[in-house]
Structure 1
Amino acid sequence: MPNSTRSRLQTILDWLRGRSARRVLIGTVLVSILIAVALLGLLSSFRSSMHHLTRQSVRSILNSNLVAFETWRNDCETGVKQWIEDETRRTLAVDILDRYSRIRNLAPDLLQMDPEIQALGQSLSEENETSEPTLATDRIGWAIIDVQSRVIASDHDELLCTPLDLPPNATKQIIARKTIVTRPFESVVLKPDQKRLENSQVLAESSQAIVAALAPIDDGSRVFGAVAWLLDPRDGFSRMLSVSDDARMSETYAFDRRGVMLSESHYRDQLRAIGLINPSPTSSCILHLEVRDPGVDLTEVGKLTKAVLGQPLTFMADQATRGATGDNVVGYRDYRGVEVVGAWRWLPEDGFGVTTEIETATIYRPLRNLRWLVYALIGFLAAANVGFAGLVFWCDRLTRRLQPEHIVRRLGRYSLGRMIGRGAMGSVYSGAHEMLKREVAIKVLERDELTTTMAKRFAREVQLTARLRHPNTIAIYDYGRTDDGTFFYVMEYLEGISLQELIDDYGRQPADRVIAILLQICGSLAEAHYRGIVHRDIKPANVFLTAQAGVFDMVKVLDFGLVKDISQNTVEITQSESITGTPMYMSPESVRDPSSADARSDLYAVGAVGYALLTGGTMFDSGPSVDICLKQLNEEPMRPSDRIGVPLADDLQNVILSCLRKDAAQRPVSMDELADTLRHCRDHNGWSSVDAMRWWTDVFDGERVDHRKLTSKLTPSEG
């Protein structure tokens, strides 16, 4: 790369590494958040406006259709009422009903030959020719019925002497001298007029459903029955309910208390293809389709895969059949499973409901487009901020790539390699001594992270740890501070895994291995306690397991960043009211008062580590730190064998639980006593060096070390 280009890139990277770049990043993130909030607010406002307009739209269509339907119904009631008000017809009808309504077993032949019935039929035929064209088209017949709904006279001979299956309460309204138009009901006797069927769009199956316009027949003192105009619901009834519908957007239909559809659907062909109604080209929805939610979009599935009968009513039908009037502009599935919005009204006097529905994909297309645009803009802002943050936080790596390979960061006599860990008290890098070329780990407290308190803690950690010589304690080699104010200390470099990784990746460990690990932890802490040092943060993540120098399962106790020197009266750097340690491994007394922690607190933590190794989990369920602290104070841990449901050696369980007693005075007196108790357990010495070597060579699948070098020292003794 040319030097000029390298120089310009280096200038950019230097700026990215500076605090000004971080301030710009924070400002950019805040501005992006404000823009995202504004965009989401705009989307929410637009959504609310769309919902309001949609609510008005569906209500308006529903009301318009109901007005048209009411006009049609009034015309039907007026027509049938005027017909029977003719004195000649009324007299004939009263005489016919008075003569035949008392006879239980009527014969159709007797009625067909009655001259008065023939005269009445002739009068109705003449009226039909002169009546309003719309009503004449709707009408498919007439009938005279008694108060038991039995047909006494009709232009459909097949109806004679049979009861007309009127909806409930229709007969009561007739007796109350009310002229009414019933909702559609099915007549299994009435057959379709084939000639009329061929010349219209009326379907054969729908011709079995009829609507009756009824006017009472009385003589002023007694109701004898009613005259019925028989109407086809596919005509006026369905047409008037959808007069304001746009077939491409909205659909209005009627349904009864059971959710059965009473008017025709716009989607007949689609419903036949799906299988919701008979696939015959003459099939209809009226009285043959229930308004139920199929649970899936059947227009996408293509075919009905399960019975819809057992499915619940749609949201709209469920609300309406309870007598409610309302709307839903958020969305629900209709009888096809398509998401729709709608408004509905229950008509209690008529015993059915009417709804207008519009597909959300149609009505909310602008909202959907705007939503995707807003999400795309927010995604772009997020990606831009992530990219900028990546440049700021990873510019150190880019800087190293731009520099010549032989130029590396140095701290004293040590060169830094890759970062291998990061915590609250600094970052840890791999490194090497410039003369010895020995690989080491270097903990660094950067200048821009430096505070007075952190500097004191950092110094205390290295100074107290350096006093320890036990082979199971991490070894400290060097400590220093650079001219620019960066603190660092050098320690031995370890390859292996922490006990936390061991538990997470390999699960609970056998009792003999747990004893072998705990004994080494006890040895490290026994020396620390002898020198007046309390660790205060023993946990699986701070205990490392390695294989080096021909020794397998070698334990190293790490991170003495929270150590407490109890060998002299020193001022505590950690405030007494703050939490010191990890709640899941803190003793009850440390929870109550962190400054009261002593060697017995480390004993409690060792017991918690042993519990985790033996069970493969913590002694309490995970949760907020406050909840865990309360459990440490008030709850006894379950016996390990009970927690995992597997038999375990009682002696080892008893040792671990003795460390976890709430009263510090009831725990082992010291680490030496704990170690001695562990050595008396049945499984002590069960985990041999050969077992450890086989685990590291055959089971461990982490970062490998050279096992030939590790095992070379064992070869002579094996011989």
Structure 2
Amino acid sequence: MAKPPLPKQLQQRLVRTYAKIDNTHYQRPRRLAFYRHIAITSIILIALGLFLRFHLIEAAEDLFESKIKQQLDSQSAALKFWLKTETNLATRIASRHRVLKLLQQIESASVTKKAELQKSLSEIVDQELSFSDSAGFLIINKDGYVVASTNRGHINQQLPRASVRLIEVVSESTFRLSEVMHSDDFLPDQNLPPILLIATRIEQMENRGYYYLVELLDASIEFNAITSLYRSDEQIEMYYFNSDGLMISESPLLAEIKQRGLLLNDQINSTILNVKLVDPVSKSQLPIFPVQHALSIGNATKFEHYRSYRDEDVLGVWIWVDELNIGLVVEVNKEEMLQLLSPLLFTELMMFALLTLSAIAMVIYQMRLRRLDDQVNAFEKLGQYKLEKKIGEGGIGSVYLAQHALLRRPTALKVLKRSLLSEEVIDRFELEVQQTALLGHPNTIQVYDYGLSPDGTFYYAMEYVRGFTLADYISEFGAMPQERVIAILLQVCGSLAEAHSRGLIHRDIKPPNIMLSEQGGIFDHVKVLDFGLVKDISDPEATQLTQTQSIAGTPSYIAPERLQDPKICDPRTDIYALGAVAYNMLSGKDLFTGTNALQIALAALKEKPVPITEVVPSPIEAKLAALVMQCVSREPAQRPRDIFEIIEILEPLQRIHPWSQQHAKNWWQKYSSPLLSKQETSKEPISEALNSL
């Protein structure tokens, strides 16, 4: 018997029920898969978070260790360079013919004549030391009597025997440098800060005896100058110490040190010889671990953990220089270092929070991170600097107007051309940065920063000068009045005088590398640019680096002897170029002309330049004309012996033919706009400029 069919309404209800069961059957695995996906993702993220936390903390410690060791190496190199510069200066003064001749005359002079000669000798040495940070000098005879001095009151006084003996010992040492000492230990009753001595023995001609040249150096100024070459991070402390465990450099933490009662004499606002580097944990007042280790064993080979003299938990490294009896400690506060890792802990919490998000949210988050990473990579193409426009072309690179991302400071950024990339060119580019950074004269371009982009592009940042070059001026207006030429030459001489006193030769003095600007309300302020061909004639390694068989420089301004032998390089090659620049400014014409560089070089070797008096548009002072022609003499011996001789001739001429600030201001207000507008207009779109590197 057949079963009766189910009512239609009941059939529809059963269909809906089975459909609901079937949907639940398929949805449950999907939910389980989703939860499983979340669980697996959570485990991965937790494991990844723990892994990253461990390795990032380890990497941060390695980074600080690398930074501190880099600071240590940089300071060691700076110390050696400073010592070499100071001893070279003292040796040069001691061997000057004028100095030796005056000492010989003083020995046989009458009382009246002797005083006059001693005054002349003191003035000569004062002038030689004027471009250094020297605190003064003494010249004494073998009996300890002062023959010449910065302090004229010391002349003819006899130094204590202990001071004379100290000078003898220092002059016979390897580096002729004394330890840091209180000035009263050397010159009693003198209100001077702690000093160092550089003592050089002056051998008289014809075995007539000997003298000592003693240069007094202010320890605070000298050590500040050394540490300023390589500025450390705020978290990193750096200080020098002697064999007695006393700090011999000025600490930027003076206020904190004084507040902690660590100064030996709290009436003296200085840390030099005024802070005993004592281990705060030691009851017997033992030196801190770096001092003990340096004096007994030597340099630190790795990052060490210890308590600092300020009773802080620190990590540091150190070195000890036996020949100088000087040690250097570079350390970082461990707590401050760990505070820098706090963003990592916050990131870890954020990663745990992501466990509650769906897979889609994590994908979006990863996409955002990827976009952010792309932006960071693009931002770091040239470090912290955003390029705006190309403003110039140099011998080994292009110059761009840029802006620091954080400071918002306009900066001139020099970028090495990729097409010229080679080991030699890279070394030369690095040398340009390092040598220029050593120079601080107001008429020399200042360097701020240096770096290497991720794609291997070298660059350095220097001050941006709004102005125009002499080449731009001569191209627009032609010859320049002699009053203005004299004023400009004196400023260029000041820049070169500092460079030459440090043993550095520019090698590319020319109108495009001399810029006129308005700075702080001062018009016609000169800046000497592009030390890209600079040569350190006092450093054998740097000399080898810049010695090539090619001729570096611009043909119209290269001295003839360098055209014959590119290795020849001394201050007289810069003097020749300076004379060629003066010739160009006064006449509006080059010293030699030709259709190509070879013709110009041949003309410089074979022809005499047309006398300046025959090419100037208006008569000029005879002494100025003679000086220009003397500077461009084919024979180096016929040129001025050094920059100072040129300054001695130009300064009296400037008094006769002054170029006042009012003259300069009037000219700038009336004529400078066309020249300045050239600098403001980009020579090339930045995208094309970057592609051309």
TM-score using structure 2 length: 0.42
Structure possessing the higher radius of gyration over alpha carbons: 1
TM-score using structure 1 length: 0.40
